[in-house]
Chains A and B, each alone.
Chain A
Amino acid sequence: MAERYSSFTPGGTGWLLQRLTAAFLVVVLAFHFFQLHFVNHAADVTFMGTQARMENIGYFLAMVLFLIAGTFHGVNGVYNALVNQGLTGTPKKVVLGVLIIASVALIAQGIWVALAMSGMIY
């Protein structure tokens, strides 16, 4: 510990981003739950209803941001939990790589789904 100083901040930026996404997610997740379980019931969801919501550009952007923020917050949380448990060395690098690939795949898939829902593709 403390032998190697570097100019960037391992952890510091991640820590701040984790808090910023948290503040955003609190609002959007609460809205999302309310929208799809109380305003509309999940059981009554249809493709047409989804399309109608996603065609609103504000809603569409909010959902895409929600996905990105949620993925970052969740995956970064998982990574932190593993580092807290003492994950080091090569396994740590492997885990980080796997998590990054999973996040990118999730976000890409999510955006594709969002585009399909909004009718911007197909």
Chain B
Amino acid sequence: MSTQQQEPETQEAPEDPEMKGTQSPQERRLEEKESGLTEDADSAGDLEGETVHLKVFRYDPEVEGKQEPRFDDFHVPFEKGMTVLDAVMYARDEYDSSLTFRHSCRQAVCGSDAFFVNGKQRLGCKTQIVELEQPVRIEPLPHQEVVKDLVVDMDHFYDQMHAVEPYFQDEETPAAADLEEQRQSPENREKIKMSSRCIWCGACMSSCNIAAGDNEYLGPAAINKAYKFAMDDRESEAIKEHRLRILEQEHGVWRCQTQFSCTEVCPKDIPLTEHIQELKREAVKKNLKFW
């Protein structure tokens, strides 16, 4: 009897503090919006004068009068821990619902929200407002065509990514019947660890001066993706050679001028230049063997 009484108690207990945490941010924002000015006035009292001045690039080809690119000013109330993405989301939710930008996970995993913030390619959700000078100038990624506001056309970037065949290829996979796994040594895993962190945000490609001029250049992200597979010991030598043959074309690795722009903007801290340089040396070594 006593155990039966305890059960509902233990079930209820976690509900109180934790279930509130699972409320989605969108729900939270909607709630805040509904509860309206009272809460707003409250927080405004706390952070009096602390607003973030945003200058956001605007362009909409479908609305007459918005076809001429311009910058819109938004003054967003500052909140501790606010990121650039939080700020533009606030601007969209509270001031102008037509403000358009891509975002999804908000934790630097999906790679949707790379913007050109204060003259540098950054991930909106990973950039703290406090670290930026104001006004914060937010533009779409350079060197890609703007579709609307902060949304750029990523087709070319994806084409280059796919050109390096970014998938594991091996003829000699162990028989499925044996339930054998294809193991990688810890050392080899460590070697490709950084290259596997790419989230396809396109910040590196946008920062690359050569990719801007030479449309055929594979670009840092695609080369890094190729590195991940070329350096994976589980693929056969023949496939590695095939990968190097893609990379050593005129518009492959050789176009990299080691400006380190990509390495500096990468939100996942991938040593892109280092990987490109290593592939150049690999390609040279492979060809020297035939001489």
Contact = CB atoms under 8 A, between A and B. Distances in A.
Interface of A: 1-2, 4-6, 9-16, 83-86, 88
How would you classify the secondary structure of chain B's contact residues: helix, strand, loop or mixed?
helix
B51 interface: no
B254 A14 contact: yes
Nearest to A16: B284
Contacts of B214: 83-86
Contacts of A1: 159-160, 163, 216, 218, 249, 251
A85 B214 CA distance: 6
A10 B250 contact: yes
Chain B, interface residues (CB within 8 Å), range: 20 to 34
A38 B163 CA distance: 54
Nearest to A87: B214
A11 B250 CA distance: 5
A83 B257 contact: no
Interface string B233-261: 00000000000011011111011010000
A5 B245 CA distance: 7
Interface string B187-231: 000000000000000000000001001111010000000000000
A73 B52 CA distance: 51
A72 B210 CA distance: 22
B287 interface: yes
- Pairs of residues from A and B, 7 with the lowest C-beta to C-beta distance, nearest first: A11-B254, A10-B250, A2-B163, A86-B213, A85-B213, A11-B250, A86-B214
